[in-house]
Structure 1
Amino acid sequence: MDMGAHVLLLILLSSLLPGVAIFFLREEQFVLRTALNLGGALLKFLLIIGLLVGVYRDGKTYSLSVNLLPGIDLVLAADALSLLFATLSAVLWLVTTIYAIGYLEDSPNRSRFFGFFSLCVSATVGIAFSGNLITLLIFYEILTLATWPLVVHRGTPESFRAGRIYLAYTLIGGAVLLGAVVWLTLLAGSEPFVVGGYLQDLAADHGTALMVIFAMLMAGFGVKAALLPLHSWLPRAMVAPAPVSALLHAVAVVKAGAFGIVRVLNDVYGVELAADLGVALPLLLLAVLTIIYGSVRAVFADDLKQRLAFSTVSQVSYIILGAALAGPIGAVGGLVHLVHQGIMKITLFFCAGNFAETLGIHRVDEMRGVGRRMPWTMTAFTLAALGMIGIPPLAGFISKWYLGLGALEADMAWVTGVLVVSSLLNALYFLPPILRGWFSRREGPWPDERHGGRWLETHWMLLLPTVTVAAMALGMGLLASLAISPLYWVTFIVEFEYGYDHIWSAIFEWETP
Structure 2
Amino acid sequence: MTGMLLSGEASLALALVIPALAALAIIALARHPNLREAATLVAALALFIVVVDLLTGVLAGARPALELAHLAPGLSIALHVDPLGMLFTAIAATLWVANSVYSIGYMRGNDEPRQTTFYACFAIAIFATMGLALAGNLLTLFLFYEILSLSTYPLVTLKRSREAMRAGRIYLLTLIGASMILLLPAIIWTYAISGTLDFAPGGFLAGRVGPEAMAVLLGLYVFGAAKAAVMPLHRWLPNAMVAPTPVSALLHAVAVVKAGVFTILKVVVSVFGIETLQTTGSSAWLVYVAGFTIIAASFVALSADDLKRRLAYSTVSQLSYIVMAAALATPLAVIGAALHIAAHAVSKITLFFAAGSVYTAEHVTKVSAMDGIGRRMPWTMAAFTIGALSMIGLPPTAGFLGKWFMLGAAGGAANWFAVGVIIVSTVLNAAYFLPIIFRAFMKPANGPVREAPLAMVVALTATAAGTILLFLLPDIPLRLARAMVGV
Under TM normalisation by the shorter chain, which class is it?
over 0.9
- Give me the whole-angstrom Cα distance separating, in 2, the residues matched to 1:181 and 1:427: 39
Paired amino acid for 2:458: L
* Gap runs ≥5 in structure 2: 1-5
- Give me the whole-angstrom Cα distance separating, in 2, the residues matched to 1:100 and 1:492: 32
- Give me the whole-angstrom Cα distance separating, in 1, the residues matched to 2:79 and 2:190: 19
The residue aligned with 2:172 is: 167
Matches within 5 A, 1:186-225: 186-203=192-209, 209-221=213-225, 223-225=226-228
The residue aligned with 1:12 is: 16
Paired amino acid for 1:461: A
- Give me the whole-angstrom Cα distance separating, in 1, the residues matched to 2:212 and 2:423: 36
- Give me the whole-angstrom Cα distance separating, in 1, the residues matched to 2:345 and 2:196: 31
Query: Deviations along 1:24-73, whole A, 9 cap, x unmatched?
Result: 3334x02211221011101110001001111112x121001133422220
* Gap runs ≥5 in structure 1: 447-453, 501-513
The residue aligned with 1:77 is: 80
Shift of 1:274: 2.0
Matches within 5 A, 1:323-472: 323-442=326-445, 445=447, 457-472=451-466
- Correspondence 1:120 to 2:120: no
- Give me the whole-angstrom Cα distance separating, in 2, the residues matched to 1:207 and 1:392: 39
- Give me the whole-angstrom Cα distance separating, in 2, the residues matched to 1:304 and 1:47: 36
Paired amino acid for 1:171: I
Q: Residue 305 of structure 2 contacts residue 368 of structure 2 at CA under 8 Å; is this kept in 1? A: yes
Of 145-154 and 13-22, more deviation after overlay is shown by 13-22
The residue aligned with 2:231 is: 228
- Give me the whole-angstrom Cα distance separating, in 1, the residues matched to 2:233 and 2:267: 19
The residue aligned with 1:157 is: 162
Shift of 1:490: 3.9
Shift of 1:18: 1.0
Larger relative contact order, structure 1 or 2 (CA cutoff 8 Å, min sep 6) = 2
- Correspondence 1:139 to 2:168: no
Q: Residue 334 of structure 1 contacts residue 403 of structure 1 at CA under 8 Å; is this kept in 2? A: yes
- Give me the whole-angstrom Cα distance separating, in 2, the residues matched to 1:494 and 1:137: 23
Query: Deviations along 1:95-120, whole A, 9 cap, x unmatched?
Result: 00111111111333211111101001
- SS of the residue corresponding to residue 414 of structure 2 reads coil
- Give me the whole-angstrom Cα distance separating, in 1, the residues matched to 2:418 and 2:340: 16
The residue aligned with 1:289 is: 292
Paired amino acid for 1:251: V
- SS of the residue corresponding to residue 79 of structure 2 reads strand
Paired amino acid for 2:470: M
- SS of the residue corresponding to residue 119 of structure 2 reads helix
- Give me the whole-angstrom Cα distance separating, in 2, the residues matched to 1:98 and 1:287: 35
Task: Say which of 57, 64, 67 aligns to 1:65.
Answer: 67
| RMSD of Structure 2 on Structure 1 (CA) | 1.6
- Give me the whole-angstrom Cα distance separating, in 2, the residues matched to 1:410 and 1:207: 19
- Give me the whole-angstrom Cα distance separating, in 2, the residues matched to 1:248 and 1:163: 13
- Give me the whole-angstrom Cα distance separating, in 1, the residues matched to 2:201 and 2:71: 25
- Correspondence 1:320 to 2:308: no
Paired amino acid for 1:491: L
Q: Residue 227 of structure 1 contacts residue 290 of structure 1 at CA under 8 Å; is this kept in 2? A: yes
- Give me the whole-angstrom Cα distance separating, in 2, the residues matched to 1:215 and 1:389: 28
The residue aligned with 1:182 is: 188
- Give me the whole-angstrom Cα distance separating, in 1, the residues matched to 2:283 and 2:404: 21
Shift of 1:208: 5.0
Q: Residue 395 of structure 1 contacts residue 473 of structure 1 at CA under 8 Å; is this kept in 2? A: yes
Paired amino acid for 2:219: A
Shift of 1:372: 1.1
Q: Residue 278 of structure 2 contacts residue 330 of structure 2 at CA under 8 Å; is this kept in 1? A: no
- Give me the whole-angstrom Cα distance separating, in 2, the residues matched to 1:211 and 1:286: 13
Paired amino acid for 1:77: H
Query: Deviations along 1:370-390, whole A, 9 cap, x unmatched?
Result: 011100101001111112112
Q: Residue 304 of structure 1 contacts residue 362 of structure 1 at CA under 8 Å; is this kept in 2? A: yes
Identity of aligned residues (%): 41
- Correspondence 1:26 to 2:54: no
Q: TM-score, normalised by structure 1?
A: 0.90
- Give me the whole-angstrom Cα distance separating, in 2, the residues matched to 1:322 and 1:196: 17
The residue aligned with 1:511 is: none
- SS of the residue corresponding to residue 466 of structure 1 reads helix
Q: Residue 228 of structure 2 contacts residue 261 of structure 2 at CA under 8 Å; is this kept in 1? A: yes
Q: 1:335 to 1:212 in 2, by over 3 A?
A: same
Shift of 1:182: 1.8
- SS of the residue corresponding to residue 68 of structure 2 reads strand
- Give me the whole-angstrom Cα distance separating, in 2, the residues matched to 1:201 and 1:423: 38
Of 460-469 and 266-275, more deviation after overlay is shown by 266-275
Task: Count residues in correspondence.
Answer: 478
Q: Residue 196 of structure 1 contacts residue 267 of structure 1 at CA under 8 Å; is this kept in 2? A: yes
Shift of 1:445: 4.1
- Give me the whole-angstrom Cα distance separating, in 1, the residues matched to 2:404 and 2:375: 33
